[in-house]
Structure 1
Amino acid sequence: MYNFLYSTFAASIDDEFMNNCWKTFVSPSISMTFRQAAIYYLCSFIARANYIKIKSVLTLTQSMVDWLHMYMSTTETDTCRTNPKRHIPFYAICQAVLYIFIYRHQEIARLSNGIERVFQWRLNHVISSKLNPLKFCLPAITLQFAQLARNYQIAFCYSIIETNRRYSLPEMFSFDNYSSIVPSQILHAYFPFDPYVLKRSSIFIRPIYNEYQDESEDFNRADTNENENILQSLMMSTTPSSLHSIDGV
């Protein structure tokens, strides 16, 4: 949380932090462990730091979406029986986009062209692709985004989620002349800025921390806290050291 608080002192600090995270992710020469950790830090920071202007949120998320579409254009045709671990960067970015939207959707919707810009992300095309990202993103994020996507009519997720549930058993995939069983949970639930539970120091963090807000019109604080607790319990954070298995991809 030191970076989270320190970044409030100058806009250049958080800009440099976010740019470095993004540069780390898009560098293929860097270990997948660090690339995936970088995108988790980036999306968690964007989602939770309420001092990040919504225009910056949209600009950074647009870069992620552009990366997704570029990846799909060069990869999707070869994914039928390919080991999904080869596509962990794609799934990590897709999950990051959904996660950011969950926490910043109300601010986006308040912009005159906010939801229109989200439509231009063509998330329905990403979600319905052969890469099937909803199968590999964390269930808590998938389900929460599905509800928002239905409300805003930006993507149709529930039929895909239901299909994935019917075929949720681990599958056999070929990989470099070998066969292996791959479970659907190949992404780690590591969001470094979720949640902040230290009571004494929370007085410094709470004013700059973006809490989850229920999108329904008749929500109350108790419901919001309950939804936040559910989201956090389903995305139980792991330590960075537990990401070492990703390098086996």
Structure 2
Amino acid sequence: MSKPGRDRSARQRLAAERSRQAARERRRRLLLVVVGAVAAAAVVVVVVVVVLTRDGGGGKPAPAYTGALAPTSRQSDGAVVMARPGVARPVLQIFEDFQCPICKDLEDRQGPTIKELAAAGKVKTVYRPFQLFQQEPLSGNSRRAANAAACAPADRWIQYHDQIYAHQPAEGDKGFADPDLITWAGAVGISGAPFTTCVDKAQKTAEVDRATAYAERAGVTATPWLTLDGAKLSGEVLASPDALRKAIEDAGRKSPGGGAPS
């Protein structure tokens, strides 16, 4: 199969899984509506459902991280690394789509902890945005956001990453217009003709396609998809900042050369 064919196949498989994930999310929202309608007669049930929803990605955002960020750099494959010099392990990889609502939930809940641990030299974080969606308007939103992120300089990438999520359009709405992506970049100190042209001309779409194909080869079937030293994270580790912190610190003790450099 040709490379374009492989890339299309990767995106189609990922899109099919995302469709199933969206269906599950719609069913979850419907359950909450039904439970809410009988809340007066079933207060205990409501409490249980709220807790489960929070653990599944609907929890309150964590307090913003306000400390210094670990340095960021861009790998040859386009992924962005956030880590202190000398920190090679443990490695936290984040496969994400800027249009994915659950990715935004995860960022709101776990982003501050990830930034804090990277700044403390306890983890090397590798961000791998890619295009999951295949149907408009979601596919266009996803592609424009991923392209703009690929256009951003590495030293301001984390701040721009957060700006994009902060302006995520509702699922099903058209958004992430190029002029807006350029304006949001200016808010975090990214400006100039090279960046503007890169966004307007979609100059990084080939890199986005390669990132999508890489995600497929890595076995990614939904977003968000996090791995720690190659092992997929799920459940409580994704739901709880404390659980994520413990998993990363435990991995650091097990990894040769893990943790902050001496």
TM-score tier, shorter chain, comes to under 0.3
Q: Which has the higher helix share?
A: 1
TM-score computed with the length of structure 2 as normaliser: 0.27
TM-score computed with the length of structure 1 as normaliser: 0.28
Q: Which has the higher strand share?
A: 2
Rg bigger for which structure? 2
